[in-house]
Amino acid sequence: MTGFVTIERGLGPDGRIAVVRFDRGDGINAMSPEAMRQLTDAARSFEDDGATSVVVLTGAAKAFTAGFDLKDPEGRARKTMDLGTLRRHLKLGPRLTRAWQDMEQITIGAIEGFCVGGGVALAVALDFRVMARDAHMRVPEIGLGMNMSWQSVPRMLHLMGPARTKQAVILADHRITAAEAHEWRLVEEVAEPGQAFDAAMALATKVAAQPPLSVAMTKLTVNRLTHALDDLTSHMDVDQFALASLSEDHKEGVAAFLERRKPRFKGR
């Protein structure tokens, strides 16, 4: 099995920083189901790690991630799955983002290149995001006849507010520049091109110098208050996605994407 995720621990002050690097080595860094499992396992590997206070998540040099891999054989097999199997398979994404959100450590995303779809869903599950000035984000799901899921809408709402969240999700073709992402409060810091990781490590160093227990407890309190109603508001994510995946618009959206043409949606 190919390893897409590497973990390095013991960095920074008193060895309290860890780096998780997701890199498929293909220049696109898309999330196949197997890559999603590996990223989930990486987050869970810190559950009993009292020596690490901060985890920096980074992607490849030219791409944080292109989002879900529509060309992956396991992913494409969704169209032949029965509803029960499909619902179980669709839980991979929510499980991934929840694993990163629930980490006791402070999490920081270092974003270079592009961050698309599921990449945005993963990024907004982190505590902080540092984005290179020439990078961009995009949320293409609606343009593919799908809904934005993985419980990411409430997370985006907490960061940006309702109008910006609608703008980011509904205008699926819009590339959100680093300057826009910072203005919209989608990212906390903009770095020079190629310097997102260094800037994230600098922030991690500041966090790691703080008392670990107080930091962890503060994160828990803020997250519990912020996300108290998230499960209620997004509990239908998986079923909405499953329903949308059965629509003609979804089939047309994916076909248009693979054929590099504009989709023709009919609302059915």
62-92: per-residue pLDDT in tens? Answer: 999 998 877 766 666 666 777 777 777 778 8
Per the CB < 8 A criterion, the answer to whether 238 and 149 are in contact is yes
Q: Output the pLDDT for position 55.
A: 98
Q: Output the pLDDT for position 76.
A: 64
**Count of residues making up the chain:** 268
Give CA–CA dist 50/218, Å, rounded.
16
pLDDT digit string (tens) for 153-171? Answer: 999 999 999 999 999 999 9
Which residue ranges of the chain lie beneath pLDDT 50?
1
Quick one: tokens of 260? 């590099």
Residues 43-59: b if buried by 16+ CB within 10 A, e if exposed: bebbeeeeebbbbbbbb
Give CA–CA dist 89/33, Å, rounded.
9
Q: Output the pLDDT for position 87.
A: 74
Per the CB < 8 A criterion, the answer to whether 124 and 146 are in contact is no
Q: What superfamily does domain 5-195+231-258 belong to in CATH? A: 2-enoyl-CoA Hydratase; Chain A, domain 1 (3.90.226.10)
Q: Output the pLDDT for position 242.
A: 75
Work out the mean pLDDT of the chain and round it to a whole number: 90
Nearest-10 crossing angle of helices 92-101, 33-44: 30
Angstrom distances, CA of residue 264 to CA of 18, 251, 252: 46, 10, 7
Per the CB < 8 A criterion, the answer to whether 168 and 185 are in contact is no
Q: Output the pLDDT for position 237.
A: 75
The one-letter code for the residue type at 77 is: A
Q: Output the pLDDT for position 257.
A: 79
Q: Coil, strand, or helix at residue 148?
A: coil
Q: Output the pLDDT for position 1.
A: 47
Q: Output the pLDDT for position 124.
A: 98
User: Hey, how many other C-beta atoms are within 10 angstroms of the C-beta on 167?
Assistant: 15
